[in-house]
Amino acid sequence: MKKALVLGAGGFIGGHLVKRLKSEGFWVRGVDLKFHEHAQTKADDFVVGDLRDQKFVRSIFDCRFDEVYQLAADMGGAGYLFTGENDANVMHNSAMINLNVLDASLKRDIKNVFYSSSACIYPTHNQLEPNNPNCAEDSAYPANPDSEYGWEKLFSERLYLSYNRNFDMNCRVGRYHNIFGPNGTWEGGKEKAPAALCRKVAMAKDGAAIEVWGDGLQTRSFLFIDECIEATIRLMRSDVDFPVNIGSDEMISVNDLVKLIASISGKNINIANIAGPEGVRGRNSNNRLITEVLGWAPSQTLRAGMEVTYAWINSQNSQQHNQK
């Protein structure tokens, strides 16, 4: 039986990835600082611990895993990443995790490691126009990410690829673009825009206004979790030894995303644009390269994914309200 190690298995993407690997017949160990908040883990073995601790990391690498997925990071939404208040922790914690994971993988002679990078590595100067951002993979340099989170991701990309060159490893790097779906963080300050907006709409009365940071004209693309997992596994098992985008190219403004969620909810929702962290003006996944090298492209519309996500967050909100 093949064995997989999922680091960050208590998180949104990690929880879905464990489920997928189990469905393929893998024995799976999940590791995180905490158990999954929104779903019972499907992992055969789940270990709670701190991946910044080198001794702990070496202890969980107790066999030669066939596949290692490194999703763990200190991260969150715009309110967490773009205020500047968490920069030192974000860079220190994530870098320590990646250094430890690669060291342990090398010492176990593990070859196949997937690293989840981010669209946040792309230069700010290529994302100033809401309707014409450039997020092609070869636009990453000269580097100029808009946050320390993005700078750490870019450093770690280079770290993983250097282990390929120097130690004959098969590290694969996927640049995630705004992954969303059910069973993820939807409140508390670390949630991403789709979850935050679904929560606001779910909590709002018909005809009410919800707050949106900035003018709402900033654009993004969002990839549904099932699509993300499919692309991740395809990349892991490929011979593609350079970073590729994993995202949707269906771009939408934040204001229009609110309108989409409102239409799904059946409510009439108004928008109150307020000052707040908003990141770059435009970001959209360029899928030319991943289509070319993996033959993969998203198959689901944004609305289809948002319908599933809104239904889940609305039910979570209702359960929470009923418990009070």
Return the structure tokens found at 159.
């770290």
Task: Catalytic residue, from 122, 149, 160, 310: name it.
Answer: 149
CB 45 within 8 A of CB 3: no
Residue type at 133?
Answer: P
DSSP symbols for 45-71: EEEE--TT-HHHHHHH--S--SEEEE-
Task: Say whether 149 is catalytic.
Answer: yes
Contact 244, 295 (CB under 8 A): no
Q: 195 near 252, Cβ under 8 Å? A: no
Q: CA of 190: how far to CAs of 26, 79, 187, 195, 273, in Å?
A: 31, 7, 7, 10, 20
Q: Identify residue 41 by its one-letter amino acid code.
A: T
The CA-atom distances, in angstroms, between 17 and each of 21, 170, 187, 310 are: 6, 19, 22, 21
Positions marked active-site: 149
